[in-house]
A and B are shown apart, each in its own frame.
Chain A
Amino acid sequence: DAGVIQSPRHEVTEMGQEVTLRCKPISGHNSLFWYRQTMMRGLELLIYFNNNVPIDDSGMPEDRFSAKMPNASFSTLKIQPSEPRDSAVYFCASSSRTNEKLFFGSGTQLSVL
């Protein structure tokens, strides 16, 4: 299995632009998670899906952030409009019901100028 696949690996954009991050979970995994990592706050859970349904989005910072999971093999995290304080590494992770270990993608390094 290729593992959790995220794209792009790096994104540099200007304040006010829309940013879309993409994730393909491991095949057969039923849960998908979006995390954000910064030096100040560490790894923060933004939102997670179970069987494509959003279960807990209490970590989403504000209305500028939205996430979708239209099917079991694809999810997006969108920031519109982006701000410099959104600069961070965004990780997608997935897990299965039978194996609760979380498998992480390589992350997207986002820089908002």
Chain B
Amino acid sequence: EDKVVQSPLSLVVHEGDTVTLNCSYEVTNFRSLLWYKQEKKAPTFLFMLTSSGIEKKSGRLSSILDKKELFSILNITATQTGDSAVYLCAVEAGAQKLVFGQGTRLTINP
């Protein structure tokens, strides 16, 4: 059975801290790994990773994939209260079929 596991499930930090969110996976037909941010309603897309070792960056957020060890990390530097959200990791296991992890609930305190 395809499985995606995220850790930690919950994280509370102070504004300005740097955080690292983890995602490990076991799927039979890996195609890509995606990160989403979910605030109040629908998840919104952050990154898609397909190759090992290539860092994707968007402002203070960055992510990297390790296909040998089957994991990815999402880093957020100089966190702000607006970064508070649930961060979801998903793996494309087969044509356009995404399997999601449980999510990491990140809370940034001022």
Contacts and interface: CB of A to CB of B under 8 A. Distances in A.
A and B part of one assembly = yes
B96 A31 contact: yes
Contacts of B98: 33, 45, 102
Interface stretch (B20-28, B41-49, B53-61): B41-49
B42 A45 contact: no
Query: Chain B contact residues: over half helix, strand or loop, or mixed?
Result: strand
Interface residues on B, range: 20 to 34
A64 to B, nearest CB: 23
B32 A105 contact: no
Query: Chain A contact residues: over half helix, strand or loop, or mixed?
Result: strand
A56 B97 CA distance: 9
Contact of A101 (B34, B95, B99): B34
Contacts of A101: 34, 45, 48
Given A43-B100, A100-B31, A102-B45, 8 more contacts: A31-B96, A33-B98, A42-B102, A43-B90, A101-B34, A103-B45, A106-B41, A107-B42
Interface of A: 4, 31, 33, 35, 41-45, 48, 50, 55-56, 91, 95, 97, 100-107
